[in-house]
Amino acid sequence: MKTILQRLSDRESLTESEMKEAMDTIFSNDVTDSEIAAFMVSLKTKGETVDEIAGIVRAMRDKSLTFSKKIPNVLDNCGTGGDGSSSFNISSTSAFVIAGAGIPVAKHGNRSVSSKTGSADVLEHLGINLNHSPERTEEILGEIGIAFLFAPHVHPNIKRIMKVRKDLRIPTTFNLIGPLTNPVELENQLLGIYRRDYTMMFAEVLKTLGRKRAVVLNGAGYMDEASLQGENHLAILDNGKVIEKILHPEEVGLPVYSNDAIRGGDSRENAEILLNVLKGEKGAKRDTVLLNAGIGIFTGGKAETIQRGIDIARESIDSGAAFDKLQQLIKASKSFQKEVI
């Protein structure tokens, strides 16, 4: 670890295998908290490369719970958080809309980061158990087409790393990579990120990690979600190529709203917002979900354009399919309540 720290301090980049080896050393508990902190700060100061991020992610996935089944065309739409917007749980709400459109969703999530309440808090408030074994999670995903993976549960070996990250009180690489570490074998991914300057790089990371199709986006107001406030910056991975795109809501027939219109509250309030959107309540929150779910449906390959993806998202809500996915997940979760590990 001393050699690694010296190289990072000298602004020397590591290969993917070298970074994975460094992370394996950290996981072995043969390093101190101070060394982990120095590692995080040195990497942040130097600036991360695609290979370095991929190496960290592979090491973290190796230490996560094992998911063995390969479910075709499964997608995650988890964002990094950290945008400070205090929005309602947009990606969690959108996940049910995407699943209602027929795309399997393995949604990675955690407790609050930038919202007043995180996806895990809202889902638990709705009566969804998040602590299933990998086998049960795969069963639920296969049966109903949507499952949620609670990050601290599926990554039991990173508690020490997360403690150091929290103690540092400054953003590091580890504030960004959560969505990359989903232990399910994903083919497609929609990833919202609060760093606009990282969209292209993270699309390249997803390419390195084997995603067939992906969209990395930073929304208007630097949200880690697509926003109706103005221009959204997208990096689109398709067929091994990454292209940039700027998308304004008016281009896809959606109105403009300030980000203040999509603020959320505590877990009870955000759960109510989620339910209302899935039940068809109109307004800024629904339209924001339509935009994000539409991009997700496009990412999942069910729509050739984002506009068509939004149309399919609208059908998912208005037909009741999205709400049915929520009800099915609640029921499946309760039926396995006794199986919790």
Annotation: binding site for Mg(2+) = 91, 224-225
Per DSSP bridges, beta strands 241-247 and 232-238 are antiparallel
Annotation: binding site for 5-phospho-alpha-D-ribose 1-diphosphate = 79, 82-83, 87, 89-92, 107-115, 119
Are 206 and 189 spatial neighbours (Cβ–Cβ below 8 Å)?
Answer: yes
- The angle formed by the CA atoms of residues 193, 100 and 95, to the nearest 5 degrees, is 20
Annotation: binding site for anthranilate = 79, 110, 165
What's CA 274's distance to the chain center, in Å? 17
Annotation: binding site = 79, 82-83, 87, 89-92, 107-115, 119, 165, 224-225
Give the residue among 308, 284, 286, 282 at the shortest CA–CA distance from 297: 308
* Joined tokens for residue 196: 């606009």
What single letter denotes the amino acid at residue 273? Answer: I
